[in-house]
Amino acid sequence: MDKKEKMLLVKKQLSESWKCDIAAFDSKQNIFMETQDTFFQMVTFGQNVVMRADKLMVDWCYEKFNSTPASFIMDSDLDRVLV
């Protein structure tokens, strides 16, 4: 199994457990999903970030990270974004 096949397998598994379309992980836009079973989860495969958050937090996530590149969310000092 090569890297591309492994990535597809992981995306399929996530889409099943997160109950979302597998295309969410390849979108160019950040994706925000409300969930009742998890306070917060986030994953990226490079182009975007897919976030799952409790209903109390999902709007805040959208407000803070909707237009923020995935690479900045994962690798940068977020103090400027979170203020």
74, pLDDT greater than 90: no
Residues in the chain: 83
Domain tally, the chain = 1
Alpha carbons within 13 angstroms on the beta-carbon side of residue 24 total 21
* pLDDT tens digits for range 13-67: 999 999 999 999 999 999 999 999 999 999 999 899 999 999 999 999 999 999 9
- Domain limits for position 65: 3-82
Task: Give the sign of the dihedral formed by CA 34, CA 35, CA 36, CA 39.
Answer: negative
